[in-house]
Structure 1
Amino acid sequence: MRAAVLTAYNSPLQLVELADPVPGPYEVLVRVMASGVNPLDIKIRHGQAAHAQVSPPAILGIDMAGVVQAVGSQVDRFRVGDEVFGMTGGVGGLQGSLAELVAVDAQLIAPKPAALSMVEAAAIPLGFITSWEGLVDRADVRAGQTVLVHGGAGGVGYLAVQLAIARGARVFATGSRASQDVIGRTGATPIDYTASTVDDYVGTYTGGEGFDIVVDNVGGATLDASFTAVKRYTGHVVSALGWGEHSLAPLSFRGATYSGVFTLMPLLTGDRRDHHGAVVAEAAALADAGKLVPRLHSTTYPLEAADEAHAVVENGAATGKVIVTPDR
């Protein structure tokens, strides 16, 4: 098979020929039709993501959609020819999806939604699983609640907005002035964070009470702002970027709660991988019901242009999820 290999940090990806992987008893061999590029991939390339546990040489690529080519002896959920998708590797020593073939733990994947193409399906797993773990597993989002999503036009936020709406919440999302129309098309109320203070939008949209759930997809000062935007006593802030130093005093003074999300953990530890598979199955159901649609970059890239795809993400030029199509 061909694969794009990171041979050293801060170096171009090398297109090489490697032996085809052989699936283990609990794995399936997938021909990769589409591989999603995430900001984490860029951090890994630069040696800035120790938590991802990647050392060159490595094949990156966390999100995947493709077709099952072979099935391990202990796998009974999938058959050759099945179209599948999931968040399957690229961290913790697991082969990523920037290759023509990959052997993946069958627990991590689900049937691809019929309503979506391979390219569309590969744009979903990491962002949706992160959103689900925050909104559903941690905060138990439900009908009638108010939800604020920071970064509503981003790779995670765009899916988080749709998930919260699908579960009956009233959703508001922050973004730049240029992203207001994109956010509005999801059904959320857009908030231009460059033109409104936290007090402004909390007052306007919640009467000063605060939001039931605040989803932080930005980190840093935005997480600090989340602590003052959440409802007193019952409010819940969730973040996948709760790094650095933060004062919990504003949150404590509101009597609210905080939960961190670390989406990579099942890939790194092997624990709860079946939950990842169950969550992407939920994503497929929502997509097939017309309630979940990814936002894609205007161009897809062949495997030999994986460096170009990474550059688009790194330079902030992406207009949606960037996808590489390894299959020839």
Structure 2
Amino acid sequence: MDAPDAPFHWADLPMPQAGPGEVLVRIHASGVNPLDTKIRAGAADHARHPLPAVLGMDLAGVVEQVGPGVTDFVRGDEVWAMAGGVAGVQGSMAQFAAVDARLLAKKPANLSMRQAAALPLAIITAWEGMVDIANVQPADKVLVIGGAGGVGHVALQIARARAAQTFGVDSGAAAEYLKSIGTVAIDRNTPVDAYVEEFTDGLGFDVVYDCVGALDTAFKAVRKFGKVTSSLGWGTYSLGPLSFRSASYAGVFTLRPLLSGEGRQAHGRILAEAKKLVEDGKLLPRMDSRRLTLDQAQQAHELLRTGGANGKLVLEL
């Protein structure tokens, strides 16, 4: 693509080669994320990716070639990853990509390529909040604001897999889906004090994960000494309610390893751990019913931008 919001076009690029520590992946499916549309529009200062560029962060595919020093993968392995699409690193909307092996994990056997490409960014973001930061424990009461969204529905399933009680705030239209994954559905128009009283006897939730930029609500919903985390934490908020509860807050910035090069092995670790949950039937993607191909990237971006998608969109190659 030539400029922000310009139509996508095909381009012949040099065939990537797997360098030291890299794996060449033949891409079968590329996940589409809201952040991709922001990068394309030049509205994501935190996700630098100079244009023109190959977009796309999530991928599922097959190992074609293994570079020097890589021992965890062999040709023919089916893999998944959040592997590029920022920081000048080629994205997944292409037939091949040379990927840092630390970002990769073997794909869950029970997922199609399309399903697998729907999950990496969401899984890593949700896992960092629920496991690495909040360390959700059995019987914790966990609230996810934006529970039916891309990160939210994964965060709820991870919490459920850790034997927590889960509650999801979203639109009334999402209630049936939230119930289907074992979560109590809370209409986002319900006052926070009302559902804190109803579901926690006024004490507050042990863990609150904000996926939509609603930290003022999260700070009011957490219990004393509880934990709040957010994947969309920029803005101006009042810290008073959090401080009065002696609760803690930590943000999640999933792109840091891609932007800085530091800590990339954590992404591969998380996807390897999540693979077990997927294969045990405890974590599945919420997919939009449309089957889209790479030449329908423009349609996919428009659906995301206008709120027309009902679940994750994936481009199949």
Query: TM class by shorter-chain length?
Result: over 0.9
What is the aligned counterpart of 2:286 among 268, 281, 295?
A: 295
Shift of 1:300: 2.2
Distance 1:246 1:7 in 2: 37
**Is residue 264 from structure 1 mapped to residue 255 from structure 2 by the alignment?**
yes
What is the aligned counterpart of 2:204 among 188, 207, 210?
A: 210
Structure 1 residue identity aligned to 2:273: E
**Is residue 182 from structure 1 mapped to residue 177 from structure 2 by the alignment?**
yes
Q: Which residue of 2 aligns with 1:224?
A: 216
Shift of 1:77: 0.7
What is the aligned counterpart of 2:234 among 236, 243, 259?
A: 243
Q: Deviations over 1:97-129 (max 9, x none)?
A: 000111100000100000111111111111110
Q: Which residue of 2 aligns with 1:103?
A: 98
Distance 1:148 1:323 in 2: 28
Q: Which residue of 1 aligns with 2:88?
A: 93
**Is residue 17 from structure 1 mapped to residue 12 from structure 2 by the alignment?**
yes
**Is residue 128 from structure 1 mapped to residue 119 from structure 2 by the alignment?**
no
Q: Which residue of 1 aligns with 2:193?
A: 199
Shift of 1:48: 0.5
Distance 2:89 2:69 in 1: 20
- RMSD across aligned C-alpha pairs, in angstroms? 0.8
Structure 2 residue identity aligned to 1:212: D
Distance 2:83 2:245 in 1: 39
Q: Which residue of 1 aligns with 2:156?
A: 161
Q: How does 1:23-102 map to 2 (within 5 A)?
A: 23-102=18-97
| SS of alignment partner, residue 176 of structure 2 | helix
Shift of 1:226: 0.5
Runs of 4+ in 1 over 4 A off after TM superposition: none
Distance 1:78 1:254 in 2: 47
Q: Percent sequence identity over matched residues?
A: 52
Distance 1:247 1:43 in 2: 27
Shift of 1:10: 2.0
Structure 2 residue identity aligned to 1:274: Q
Q: Which residue of 2 aligns with 1:117?
A: 112
Structure 2 residue identity aligned to 1:283: A
Distance 2:50 2:235 in 1: 23
What is the aligned counterpart of 1:320 among 290, 297, 311?
A: 311
Shift of 1:284: 0.8
Range that drifts further, 207-216 or 246-255: 246-255
Distance 1:244 1:58 in 2: 29
Distance 2:65 2:305 in 1: 35
Q: Which residue of 2 aligns with 1:3?
A: none
Q: Deviations over 1:65-123 (max 9, x none)?
A: 00011110111111111000011000111110000111100000100000111111111
Distance 1:304 1:10 in 2: 16
Gaps of 5+ in 2: none
Gaps of 5+ in 1: 1-5
Distance 2:236 2:8 in 1: 34
| SS of alignment partner, residue 298 of structure 1 | coil
Q: Deviations over 1:133-172 (max 9, x none)?
A: 1111111111111000111110000100000000110000
Structure 2 residue identity aligned to 1:177: G
- TM-score normalised per structure 2: 0.99
